[in-house]
């Protein structure tokens, strides 16, 4: 039963990471559409990249904690 729960948490973490990537995409696209200068376009790309990195880091940390606890 514990492996089933652990598997569910891994799946949930992967889904959260995926949704975070989608959120980052739409936030980045929204900022790009509203950008009035090249500087704002660059900032939109940086915000999107930062959000993706944060999502990946959070998912990796959760998976590492799960791996350590078993």
- The domain segmentation of the chain, as residue ranges, is 2-69
Write down the pLDDT at residue 70.
67
pTM higher than the cut 0.75: yes
- Interval 16-27 mean pLDDT: 95
Convert the pLDDT of each residue in 30-55 to its tens digit: 999 999 999 999 999 999 999 999 99
Spell out the SS3 assignment of the chain.
Answer: CHHHHHHHHHHHHHHHHHHHHHHHHHHHHHHHHHCCCHHHHHHHHHHHHHHHHHHHHHHHHHHHHHHHHC
Write down the pLDDT at residue 47.
95
């Amino acid at each position: 039963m514990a492996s089933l729960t652990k598997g569910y948490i891994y799946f949930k973490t992967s889904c959260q990471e995926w949704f975070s990537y989608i959120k980052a995409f739409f936030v980045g696209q929204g900022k790009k559409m509203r950008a009035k200068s090249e500087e704002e376009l660059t900032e939109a790309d940086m915000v999107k990249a930062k959000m993706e990195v944060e999502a990946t880091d959070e998912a990796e940390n959760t998976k590492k904690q799960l791996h350590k606890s078993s």
